[in-house]
Structure 1
Amino acid sequence: MGRISKSTPPKKSRSNRYRYLAKNHVFVCWGVSTVFVARRSRHVREGERYTPRLRRFHTDSSCGSDGAEKMTRTLAILAYFLCLLHCSRCAESEERLMNWLLGKDRYNLLIRPAVNRTERVPVKLQVSLAQLISVNEREQIMTTNVWLTQHWVDYRLSWDPAKYEGIDKLRIPSRHIWLPDIVLYNNADGTYEVTVFTNAIVIFNGSINWLPPAIYKSACKIEVKHFPFDQQNCTLKFRSWTYDHTEIDLILKSEVASMDDFTPSGEWDILALPGRRTVNPLDPTYVDLTYDFIIKRKPLFYTINLIIPCVLITSLAILVFYLPSDCGEKMTLCISVLLALTVFLLLISKIVPPTSLDVPLIGKYLMFTMVLVTFSIITSVCVLNVHHRSPSTHTMPSWVKLIFLVKLPALLFMRRPQNNSASQRLRRQRCLRARKSIGSSGYPDAAKTGFILSPSALQSSNPAFSARGLNVAPQLGFSHSNRKGDLRSTDYIPSGQDLKQSTSSDWAADVQEAVNGVRFVAEHMMGDDDDQSVIEDWKYVAMVVDRMFLWIFVIVCVVGTLGLFLQPVFQTQIVPNQQPSSETPRI
């Protein structure tokens, strides 16, 4: 209420006296309780002279607590009715003001609030971001919840507050006044205007503030090059739908969008929200206000669900080269890894937009891994082919022996185990002596070769041996010490020197035939040993090739993974496109 007037109270009627008392008292109402605060002044005492009953309760200080309660109750009821009376007068003033401002003979909401035809109406605009709802990468749409603050002056909606009980502010439904038809130009779903037409706050000098909420779906060009470590620049472009720059002057109210009531997003970080005013120098009638939403994706979700599984699958592809060729599971593991990568590639294709301008980072990594796995399948086939070679099908070239048996094992820190056991050394010595004896004489020397005929063999070939009291056996009697062909004698037989000294012609031919048989068996066993040695060499070559590709794949995978995923670290910060304007007024 205003200050207490010093004029004398009116004496015409009781209603005038109540109105005078209402102007000189303050009433505070909260809930059910009502407190009446009386200002002790000369006017109150004068008012008591016109209200005998009130003065009686007020001046009677000797009555007890019951009297005080009755007085308080009476004053509260009186104050309540006085408040209702004053509020009704205010409502009457506001209604009268509203009818006068929006009278059909005075105000037309279809006409631009300009004094003359050439005057431009300045409209100040600011975007307040409340929530970044979503960014649909596949459809390339950004959904935001914003408050679109608009400010302009309508000289037809001005009044003198003194004539209307001091009313200096009105809240008028926005559909009853002229509005600048500012819409979202880069809209993506067909709703160009605001969602709710809220009331406009009108000040007595004609200044209008309108703050409508809106949920916009704007078109946003998605850059998928560094997905999921990407930054995006989505814009909101505002412009009047029917008025041009000669009729409405759009002005930025602030250099950046407001984030006072922003609710953080779980997927995106807001880096900057700069605004700019664009004027086309070739078309002076064009002007728009653009806000750039520079946002950065939070990559934790995609790191856990895409990147880490892909890296683990790639490591499985590397382990293919450490798997022995004899186990027979090389190709199975390679095909399984390739199928798993194909599933991940299908998941990526459902997330990123179907654009041919660029390939997402995670897609590049999956393709890189698939190429490695495909190459591992090819190399595994080659390794298995080398592993199962034999002397009967392939001959090992000398350059293969030099590279894969001598040089590469030393570079790859591989060392072939040496067979230094006593039995192996004895076997090699016997084979060497047997080869020399076969080359120098018609039959091997038993003392040199170690292959000794048993008595049964000699007795079956010549009856002379039976006369000496030896048993006769129908077969050659030699025994195998092991599967590698080592022969050892079990009985005493004449040596080769004794056979040479014998001049009996009836058994010499049979002995020669038996010696030829022994020679054939020895040569066959020595050939098997040579073949087995060549087979072992081919297996070792396959092992060297496996180890070589293992190191190559480890180096390529590590370098490729770091090279791909470190690209977003060095990406440049997105800067909105600033177009110079000859006139860019700001507040």
Structure 2
Amino acid sequence: MWEGPWVGLGLDTKRSVWLDYSVRRAGASCGASEDGRERSKSHGEDLEWIDVKLRWNPDDYGGIKVIRVPSESLWTPDIVLFDNADGRFEGTSTKTVVRYNGTVTWTPPANYKSSCTIDVTFFPFDLQNCSMKFGSWTYDGSQVDLVLEDQDVDKRDFFDNGEWEIVSATGSRGNRTDSCCWYPYVTYAFVIKRLPLFYTLFLIIPCIGLSFLTVLVFYLPSHEGEKICLCTSVLVSLTVFLLVIEEIIPSSSKVIPLIGEYLVFTMIFVTLSIMVTVFAINIHHRSASTHSAMAPWVRRVFLHQLPKLLCMRGHVDRYFAETEGSAGAGGPPSSRSALEAALDSIRYIARHVMKENDVREVVEDWKFIAQVLDRMFLWTFLLVSIVGSLGLFVPVIYKWANIVIPVHVGNANQ
């Protein structure tokens, strides 16, 4: 127990008190909650002011220049976080450091949670701005004024976070005025960016792999039923990924996340591939008995022109011209009748063989058209997949890697 001479405590509230305000020895961690709000935590703040009634002469008190007094025993400023998220506005009660010249230093440890809107447009390559606004709850500027010690926050005292990286942390002082008074406040603005390695490895790369796996569907033979099975399996996998992302990303109807756009793009991509595959299988199983003769333009485009453009081996049309043979004159009537009977049999066999050959040729033509369609959609879907993936991710990754910090950040109410 302190047994020395007591120092009179008090404060003349009619005088203006200047607070030297800063955030030190702070640790920060940020994350997204289910309600779509971002939580930014800061621990510890330094408050310093001069109380003229707490001055003494060290020579009169045994050379004592510094004492430590419980904060409950003297006046302390009611500095609170205005945009508080957890409903707790007070910090932990600790002792204040009082010097003989009346300077009072108070560093109350506190766990502040600030709520700010999160923008998941470019998730997981997103950049978030979150601010923390501090000020007096009951005193106006004529009674308690805030002086910002330093605009730049020392980031070396912040704890590391495996999901977020602090890009910029700055402070600014502002005033809010009404009809009679003005109220000073200090705003700390934090610019943070997400570290996307985890989401890249476990979300983006598998989604891109599934997208390119869809392209391989068109490389399978058209008569294989596994084409539809593969497409359906990829579609189910994408649906599972979409459900996983819905659990990770805060729900918001204002913007669509980048990874969500890519998943929707891939699902449409796979759905179209299923439709095209069904059409190609239908083409593959066509025959002369089920469909009418092939149109001339179809034969010209799919049997002659497209195979050359797609680097495929040409399909040769083989048609037999039915020629009518005539029996030569001469010979005895009996020999002529026997020869005509033999020729009739040969003609019958030839017509039958030619008919079977025509049917087989029609079937082969339709199968070749199915192969041409598969090859055409293979290159088309591969090109669309590459262009779509690069078009969605490359600009965002480039922007994320070359972040330009804005002059004024934060979303505090000015």
Verify same fold: TM over 0.5: yes
Q: 1:131-210 alignment to 2 at 5 Å? A: 131-139=27-35, 140-194=37-91, 196-210=92-106
Deviations 1:62-107 (A, max 9, x none): xxxxxxxxxxxxxxxxxxxxxxxxxxxxx8xx6333x3424xxxx3
CA shift, 1:418, in A, is 6.1
Aligned to 2:195: 298
Count residues in correspondence: 404
Equivalent of residue 577 in structure 1, options 384, 408, 412: 408
Deviations 1:233-258 (A, max 9, x none): 11111111111223211121111223
Matched, 1:548 2:379: no
Between 1 and 2, higher relative CO (CA 8 Å, sep ≥ 6) is seen in: 2
Q: Is the 8 A contact 1:251 1:277 kept in 2?
A: yes
Q: Is the 8 A contact 2:42 2:110 kept in 1?
A: yes
Aligned to 2:306: 408
Equivalent of residue 358 in structure 2, options 502, 522, 530: 530
Matched, 1:265 2:161: yes
Equivalent of residue 172 in structure 2, options 232, 251, 276: 276
Q: Is the 8 A contact 1:391 1:535 kept in 2?
A: yes
Distance in 2 between residues matched to 1:128 and 1:230, nearest whole Å: 27
Distance in 2 between residues matched to 1:166 and 1:418, nearest whole Å: 111
CA shift, 1:516, in A, is 3.7
Aligned to 1:502: 332
Distance in 1 between residues matched to 2:206 and 2:218, nearest whole Å: 20
Question: Aligned pair in 2 of structure 1 residues 403, 281: CA closer, same or farther (>3 Å)?
Answer: farther
Distance in 1 between residues matched to 2:175 and 2:201, nearest whole Å: 46
More strand by share: 2
CA shift, 1:383, in A, is 0.8
CA shift, 1:515, in A, is 4.6
What amino acid does structure 2 have at the position aligned with 1:120? S
Q: Is the 8 A contact 1:129 1:144 kept in 2?
A: no
Matched, 1:95 2:22: no
Distance in 2 between residues matched to 1:570 and 1:141, nearest whole Å: 22
Matched, 1:344 2:241: yes
CA shift, 1:379, in A, is 0.7
Q: 1:81-120 alignment to 2 at 5 Å? A: 95-97=3-5, 99-102=6-9, 107=10, 113-114=12-13, 117=14, 119-120=15-16
Aligned to 2:390: 562
Distance in 2 between residues matched to 1:286 and 1:532, nearest whole Å: 92
Distance in 2 between residues matched to 1:417 and 1:203, nearest whole Å: 99
Distance in 1 between residues matched to 2:409 and 2:164, nearest whole Å: 24
Equivalent of residue 520 in structure 1, options 345, 348, 351: 348
Aligned to 1:45: none
Q: Is the 8 A contact 2:303 2:315 kept in 1?
A: no
What amino acid does structure 1 have at the position aligned with 2:312? M
Q: 1:29-428 alignment to 2 at 5 Å? A: 95-97=3-5, 99-102=6-9, 107=10, 113-114=12-13, 117=14, 119-128=15-24, 130-139=26-35, 140-194=37-91, 196-280=92-176, 284-394=181-291, 395-416=293-314
Distance in 2 between residues matched to 1:137 and 1:555, nearest whole Å: 38
Q: Is the 8 A contact 2:42 2:113 kept in 1?
A: no
CA shift, 1:123, in A, is 1.2
Distance in 1 between residues matched to 2:42 and 2:242, nearest whole Å: 33
Aligned CA RMSD, in angstroms, stands at 2.5
Divergent runs of 4+, >4 A: 281-284, 510-515
Q: 1:464-483 alignment to 2 at 5 Å? A: none
What amino acid does structure 1 have at the position aligned with 2:238? L
Distance in 1 between residues matched to 2:199 and 2:114, nearest whole Å: 25
Aligned to 1:11: none
Tell me the SS of whatever aligns to 1:332: helix
CA shift, 1:417, in A, is 6.3
Distance in 2 between residues matched to 1:319 and 1:366, nearest whole Å: 18
Q: Return 5+ residue gaps in structure 1 as ranges.
A: 1-90, 446-496, 580-587
Distance in 2 between residues matched to 1:418 and 1:401, nearest whole Å: 11
> TM-score under structure 1 normalisation?
0.65
CA shift, 1:278, in A, is 1.8
What amino acid does structure 1 have at the position aligned with 2:107? L
Distance in 2 between residues matched to 1:274 and 1:113, nearest whole Å: 33
What amino acid does structure 2 have at the position aligned with 1:95? E
Distance in 2 between residues matched to 1:352 and 1:120, nearest whole Å: 47
Distance in 2 between residues matched to 1:220 and 1:186, nearest whole Å: 8
CA shift, 1:378, in A, is 0.9
Of 121-130 and 223-232, more deviation after overlay is shown by 121-130
CA shift, 1:269, in A, is 1.2
Q: Is the 8 A contact 1:185 1:239 kept in 2?
A: yes
Question: Aligned pair in 2 of structure 1 residues 143, 402: CA closer, same or farther (>3 Å)?
Answer: same
Question: Aligned pair in 2 of structure 1 residues 129, 561: CA closer, same or farther (>3 Å)?
Answer: farther
Deviations 1:153-178 (A, max 9, x none): 11111111110000010110111111
What amino acid does structure 2 have at the position aligned with 1:345? L
Question: Aligned pair in 2 of structure 1 residues 272, 113: CA closer, same or farther (>3 Å)?
Answer: farther
What amino acid does structure 2 have at the position aligned with 1:575? P
Q: Is the 8 A contact 2:129 2:409 kept in 1?
A: no
Tell me the SS of whatever aligns to 1:128: coil
Q: Is the 8 A contact 2:168 2:405 kept in 1?
A: no
Tell me the SS of whatever aligns to 1:350: helix
CA shift, 1:504, in A, is 3.8
Tell me the SS of whatever aligns to 1:255: coil
Of 349-358 and 276-285, more deviation after overlay is shown by 276-285
CA shift, 1:220, in A, is 2.1
Aligned to 1:7: none
CA shift, 1:543, in A, is 0.9
Deviations 1:189-222 (A, max 9, x none): 111121x211100011111111111111210211
CA shift, 1:224, in A, is 0.4
Tell me the SS of whatever aligns to 1:342: helix
What amino acid does structure 2 have at the position aligned with 1:211? T
Distance in 2 between residues matched to 1:350 and 1:131, nearest whole Å: 27
Tell me the SS of whatever aligns to 1:254: coil
